Amino acid sequence: MAVLTYQSDRHAWPEEVGPGQAPRGLEEYLPSGFTFRKEDYVLDYENRSGGGRSGFNVGVALVTENPELGLTVVDLVGSHIFPNGTTKFTWNIES
């Protein structure tokens, strides 16, 4: 929701950053204390809207060594998420 609200307010997607980092300016849209890095997983915001064909333009990936956690996220989010192997699960925000 934070990424979608950011895009609505600024008419642009947040810029790409590395795994476990919140994109600059997104912090104000996130709940207090929210972090992209936890003990069992790392969130990876991905902005590929600058070109190339990756299957999506903007997404958030859950990177975990715990396949059960990844599959639980797939079950919760459903058709908007796809696995990239067994340790990375990406939620597609914009295709």
CA dist 95 to 37, 38, 67, Å?
Answer: 25, 27, 25
Are the C-beta atoms of 67 and 93 separated by less than 8 Å?
no
pTM of the predicted structure, to 2 decimals:
0.79
Return the pLDDT at 50.
66
Total domains in the chain come to 1
Grouped pLDDT means (10 residues each) for the chain, 95 residues: 93 93 95 94 87 67 87 77 76 73
pLDDT recorded at residue 52: 53
Q: Residue 85 sits in which domain range?
A: 2-94
